[in-house]
Structures are given as C-alpha cells and as structure tokens.
C-alpha cells in the first residue's frame, strides 16, 4: 500500500522498472491523489544514467583467442624479416630485369641502326650524280643505259647489302630517339651514312668519267666531309673507351663491347669498300655491289 | 564455452564492460586492467561458464575488481575531479549526472551502473554483487535519492 511514508521507494522502483503492473497502477492512483509529488517522480526518473557509447575498448584483438578450425600461422621474428627481405628481393630483381630488358632492346636497335636505312638521300649528292654535264652524258650513253637499268633492278637488294643486313626502318630510328639518350649518336650516324649510301644507290654503276668528275666536283667533298664511320662508332684516335659515344651510353660494359664489335665490323667493311672505290675512281672501271656480288663494269 | 564463443563475448561485451569499469574506477587505465583481468578469468574458466551466463560472469569479476581492488583509488580520483563538468551556463544533464554519480560510494555507483547501463534486474544485480535482492533495493534506493537531491539542488541553481 503506497502512502506518504513509502512513496519514494515506489518511485525509485518505478524509475528502475521494477514495479509490477498492479503496483504501477497503484502508484498512478497515489499521484492522482497527490499531484504535488509528480515532480518528485520526474526527478527520480532523471537519475537514470545514460550509457556513454563513445567509450569503447580498443584492444579487443589482444583479448581474442585462436579458434579451432582456423589456422593461425605465426612466424618467429627472424622469419618475418626473412619473408620481408625475400619480397623486397623479388621486387628488386623484377625492377632490374625490366630495366635491363629495356636497355637491351635499345642497345640491339642501336647496333642494328648504325648503318641506317637509306630513306632520304642527301640532296647535294643526288643532284650532283643525277645531273652530270652534257659532255658526260654524251660520253656515257652506252654505259649509262645499262647502268640505269641495273639501278632499277638492283636498287632494293643493293640497299639491303649496303645496310649490312639492316632491317631497321626510319620510324624505328625515330623510336630510339624518343626512348634513349643514344638519340644523337644514332641519328647522326644515320645521316652520315645516308649520305654515303645515297651515292651508292643512285650510281650503282659509275662510269669512270663520271667518277673523275665527281672527284673534281663536290662529290669528292661528300666523301671527304663524310665522317668516317669508325670515328662515329669508336673514336680510334682516342684511347678506346675514354671519349667514345658508346662509352657514354648508360649500359653495362658487356653490351658496350658488343656494340663496339658490331660498329667496328661495319666500319671496317665500309672502309674497305671506300678504299677500293678510291682506287678505281681514276680508272675506267665502274663498281657496283649487288646483293652479295661485286659487279664491275668496264 | 569454446574459443569462438569466448571471442564472441569479447566482441559483444568488452565495450560495455569497459564503460562500466571506467565509471566504477574513474580511471581508463584501471578500467583496462579490469576488463583484461575479467576476460582472462573467463578464458581460464571457460569450461565452467555457459555462454548465456558469460556476461553476468564478466560483470561479476569486473565488479569485484573495480569495487574491491580500486576502491581507494577511485575514491581519490573522483574526489579530486574538478567541478568543471557542470556550470549554470552549461546545464548538460549528462555531465550533471556524472558529477552526481561521483557523490556515491563505489558499491552504490556500481549498482546504479549495472541497473542503468546494463538493465539488470535487482535479482540479477544481487547475483553479480553477491547481495540479496533486498540489499540491492536498499542500496539503489539510497543512491537514487542522493542523485535526485543533487539534481534538484542543481535545478534550484538553474
């Protein structure tokens, strides 16, 4: 029975939710009779604590226990370091492989490109050889006609021969320019060799008079001003490797040696042909290289 | 109780247990020790404790550790706490209640928290605290009355 002596106890139990429905009804009836006590009931209800959900236990993982059926692989400390080192080594080797691979490609291309594709013959040479003087034209009628025919037939194969099995295309050369610092050397080499090869292509069979005329005119200048391939590939005057362009390339020594060997072989072959040409330039013999044959016209 | 059930208890009850311990001890570091100790005991007695009784078991251990072992320390902590949580210009009821709670003794505080935070009945609180239901009723009555008087006095200020 609720009365003025024990009503607080009922109010606390009401706040705690411990009253039965009948006791709740009894309390409401009591408050109806004593409305001045309603504020006390409200005050008791306000003493209910509200959980502070911002407070959380952060280290739950430290309390967890390994469950059966779930395999937990634990490594000693040294094994963790070993695994980390292994992974790092794999990444390093992969990086090195990729890096080295790209250098290899560039090196190969550069080596092949050394005697470059004769795509655009140097215009001074072309003009000089194609437009000889009228007297020469008259003198060379017999020789020139077959020579022209030969030129038409053999130009493409000859190009292959002169390029020393070079299959590199101009755009490939351009690609190298974009990719590496080999750019200048490769390009210069290409231009220099282009000049020379253009002469070869347009005059596969050169009459003696014409050769003589060339020597007098600026064609000889072409030969003279042509940078010797050897000096491009390897500065023979220098100590090998000190000032060579190849030595400045960002590649390892083995590849530099390979490049030097290829360059040396090409330069030697070129020099031989050049020397032979010089020797026969004063005679009535014309020389042409067709595929793997040396064609001599006289 | 197996490991999975134990881990579920950790996920489900560690936050509530920590909140209870923080309010009981007044120190987060002590509360951390209480929670860790409670779960260690639960793991050690996992064969004896049923999963559905795990929560009550945890609070029982935490209550003992908080009230018995940290009683003096918590008393100092709460009594030394500054009164900055309440000011007439900032009549935040939650903060006022925090201050009111600090006025209670450790046992009454723990009983109020078990009742309000976890919603345990008088009977359940009695089992957790090793008190009978009547004792719980008396302790809580006194606690509520103290809290109410504190709030009323604050309201009078307001």
Q: Domain holding B113: CATH number?
A: 1.20.140.160
Do residue A132 and residue A238 come from a single domain?
yes
Q: Select the highest-mean-pLDDT range: A159-173, B59-73, B122-136.
A: B122-136
Return the residue of A nearest to B115 by Cα. A16
pLDDT top residue among B89 and A252: A252
Lowest mean pLDDT of A69-78, B16-25, B107-116, B143-152, name the range: A69-78
Reported confidence tier of residue A292, pLDDT bands at 50, 70, 90: low
Residue in A55, A59, A68, A72 to test binding to B, most B beta-carbons within 10 Å: A55
Decide if A56 contacts B15 (C-beta within 8 A): yes
Identify the three-state secondary structure at position A143.
helix
Separation between Cα atoms, residue B63 and residue A50, nearest integer Å: 19
Of B35, B100, B117, the CB nearest to A57: B35
- What is residue A93's predicted lDDT score, i.e. its pLDDT? 82
- The arithmetic mean of pLDDT across residues A263-292, rounded, is 76
Mean local confidence (pLDDT), A43-52: 87
The dihedral of CA A184, A190, A193, A198: what is its sign?
negative
Residue A243 and residue A146 share a domain: yes
pTM, entire model: 0.48
Q: Do A40 and B144 touch (CB under 8 A)?
A: no
Q: What whole-number distance in Å separates Cα of residue B107 and Cα of residue B109?
A: 5
Inform me whether the pLDDT recorded for A161 exceeds 70.
Answer: no
From A88, A111, A53, select the one nearest A246 (Cα to Cα).
A111
Say whether both A96 and A175 belong to one domain. yes
Residue A171 burial (CB count, 10 A): 10
Chain A residues near residue B32 by CB distance under 8 angstroms: 57, 59
Total Cβ atoms within 10 A of residue A269: 14
* Beta-carbon contacts below 8 Å between A and B: 87
Range of the domain at A19: 7-45
* Beta pairing class for A286-290 and A293-297: antiparallel
User: In this complex, is the C-beta atom of B130 within 8 Å of any C-beta atom belonging to chain A?
Assistant: no
- Closest Cβ opposite residue B10 in set A49, A51, A60: A60
Which residue among B2, B14, B100 sits closest to A63, beta carbon to beta carbon? B14
Return the half-sphere exposure (C-beta side, CA atoms, 13 A cut-off) of residue B17.
32
Contact between chains at B117 and A51 (C-beta distance less than 8 A): yes
Cα B123 to its chain centre, rounded Å, is 16
Helix (H, G, I), strand (E, B) or coil at A288: strand
- Expressed in percent and rounded to 5, the helix, strand and coil fractions of chain A are 65, 5, 30
Band (B69; pLDDT cuts 50, 70, 90): low
| Structure tokens, A149 | 């025919």
pLDDT value at residue B1: 79
Residues in A closer than 8 angstroms to B16, CB to CB, are 51
Residue A277, Cβ density class (10 Å: 0-12 exposed, 13-18 middle, ≥19 buried): middle
Q: How far is CA B142 from the centre of its chain?
A: 16
Q: Return d(Cα A10, Cα A15) in angstroms, integer.
A: 9
Burial of residue A72 (CB within 10 Å: 0-12, 13-18, 19+) is exposed
Residue A289, strand partner residues: A294
How much is the pLDDT for A96?
A: 76
Q: Using CA coordinates, name the residue in chain B closest to A66.
A: B3
What ipTM was reported for this prediction?
0.83
A227 and A293 share one domain: yes
Shared domain for A40 and A131, answered yes or no, is no
Q: Indicate whether A274 pLDDT > 70.
A: yes
Q: Are residues A147 and A276 in the same domain?
A: yes
8 A C-beta contact, residue A298 and residue A284: yes
> Nearest CA of chain A to the CA of B82: how many Å?
20
A47 → closest Cβ in B22, B113, B147: B147
Domain match, A150 and A209 both:
yes
Q: How far apart are CA B121 and CA A3, in angstroms?
A: 24
How many whole angstroms separate alpha carbon B42 and alpha carbon B34? Answer: 12
Between A17 and A220, residue with greater pLDDT: A17
pLDDT single digits (tens) A177-234: 444 444 444 444 444 444 444 444 444 444 444 444 444 444 444 444 444 444 444 4
Residues of the domain holding B108: 3-157
Query: Encoding tokens for residue B152?
Result: 């009323």
* Closest Cα in chain B to A17: B121
Which two tokens mark A121? 């013959």
Quote the radius of gyration of chain A (alpha carbons, Å). 47
Residue A66 has pLDDT above 80, yes or no: yes
Same domain (yes/no): A39, A145: no
Coil vs helix vs strand at A289: strand
Looking at the predicted structure, is the pLDDT value of residue B143 above 90? Answer: yes
Residues A174 and A281 in one domain: yes
Encode pLDDT of A188-201 as tens digits. 444 444 444 444 44
Where do we find the tokens 């017999």?
A142
Q: Distance (Å) from the C-alpha of residue A180 to the closest C-alpha of chain B? A: 59
Q: Is A225 inside any structural domain?
A: yes
Which residues does chain A have within 8 Å of residue B121's beta carbon, measured at their own beta carbons?
18
Helix, strand, or coil here: A223? helix
| A13 and A105 fall within a common domain | no
pLDDT at A68 exceeding the cut of 50 = yes
Distance CA A76, CA B92 (A): 52
| A8 vs A256: which has the higher pLDDT | A8
Going by pLDDT thresholds of 50, 70 and 90, the confidence category of residue A290 is: low
pLDDT band at A73 (very low <50, low <70, confident <90, very high): low
Q: Is residue A79 part of a domain?
A: no
Give the residue from B25, B144, B146, B149 with the most A CB atoms within 10 Å of its CB, the best one to mutate: B144
| Alpha helices for chain B (secondary structure H) | 3-25, 28-44, 54-64, 71-80, 93-102, 106-116, 122-129, 133-157
Asked if A223 reaches chain B (Cβ–Cβ under 8 Å), the answer is no
- In this structure, the answer to whether residues A271 and A127 fall within a common structural domain is yes
Contact B41, A63 (CB under 8 A): no
Q: Are residues A95 and A201 in the same domain?
A: yes
pLDDT band at B66 (very low <50, low <70, confident <90, very high): confident
A271 C-beta neighbours (distance < 10 Å), count = 13
- Confidence at B93, pLDDT banded by 50, 70, 90: confident
Contact assignment for A66 to B14 by CB distance below 8 Å: no
| CA–CA dist A218, A203 (Å, integer) | 15
Q: Which of residues 59-78 of B touch A (CB under 8 A)?
A: none
Tally of domains within chain B: 1
Average pLDDT of chain A, as a whole number: 63
pLDDT of residue A20: 92
**Beta carbons of A115 and A162 less than 8 angstroms apart:** yes
Across the interface, whether the CB atoms of B116 and A50 are under 8 A apart is answered yes
């Amino acid at each position: 029975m609720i009365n003025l002596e024990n009503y607080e106890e009922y109010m606390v139990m009401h706040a705690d939710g411990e009253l039965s429905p009948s006791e709740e009804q009894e309390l409401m009836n009591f408050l109806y009779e004593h409305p001045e006590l309603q504020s006390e009931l409200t005050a008791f209800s306000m003493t209910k604590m509200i959980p502070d959900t911002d407070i959380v236990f952060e280290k739950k993982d430290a309390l967890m226990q390994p469950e059966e059926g779930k395999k937990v692989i634990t490594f000693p400390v040294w094994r963790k370091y070993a695994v980390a080192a292994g992974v790092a080594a794999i990444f390093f080797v992969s990086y090195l492989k990729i890096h080295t691979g790209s250098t290899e490609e560039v090196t190969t291309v550069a080596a092949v490109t050394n005697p470059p594709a004769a795509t655009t013959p140097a215009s001074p040479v072309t003009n000089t050889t194609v437009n000889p003087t009228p007297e020469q034209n008259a003198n060379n009628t017999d020789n020139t006609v077959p020579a022209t025919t030969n030129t038409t037939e053999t130009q493409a194969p000859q190009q292959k021969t002169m390029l020393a099995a070079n299959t590199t295309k101009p755009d490939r050369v351009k690609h190298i320019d974009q990719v590496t610092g080999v750019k200048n050397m490769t390009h210069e080499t290409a231009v220099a060799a282009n000049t020379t090869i253009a002469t070869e292509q347009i005059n596969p069979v050169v009459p003696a008079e014409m050769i003589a005329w060339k020597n007098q005119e600026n064609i000889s200048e072409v030969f003279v001003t042509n940078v010797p391939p050897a000096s491009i590939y390897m500065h023979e005057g220098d100590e090998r490797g000190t000032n060579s362009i190849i030595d400045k390339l960002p590649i390892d020594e083995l590849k530099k040696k390979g490049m030097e060997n290829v360059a040396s072989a090409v330069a030697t072959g070129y020099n031989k042909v050049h020397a032979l040409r010089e020797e026969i330039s004063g005679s009535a013999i014309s020389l042409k290289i067709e595929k793997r044959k040396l064609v001599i016209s006289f | 109780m197996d490991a999975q059930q134990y881990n579920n208890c950790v996920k489900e009850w560690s936050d509530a247990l920590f909140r209870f311990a923080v309010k009981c001890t007044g120190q987060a570091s002590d509360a951390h020790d209480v929670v860790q100790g409670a779960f260690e005991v639960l793991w050690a007695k996992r064969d004896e404790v049923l999963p559905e009784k795990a929560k009550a078991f945890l609070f029982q251990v935490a209550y003992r550790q908080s009230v018995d072992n940290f009683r003096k320390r918590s008393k100092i902590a709460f009594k030394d706490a500054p009164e900055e949580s309440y000011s007439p210009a900032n009549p935040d009821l939650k903060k006022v209640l925090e201050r009111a709670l600090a006025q209670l003794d450790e046992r009454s505080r723990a009983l109020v928290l078990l009742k309000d935070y976890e919603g345990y009945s008088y009977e359940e609180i009695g089992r957790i605290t090793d008190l009978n239901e009547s004792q719980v009723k008396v302790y809580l009555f006194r606690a509520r009355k103290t809290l109410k008087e504190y709030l009323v006095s604050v309201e009078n200020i307001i």
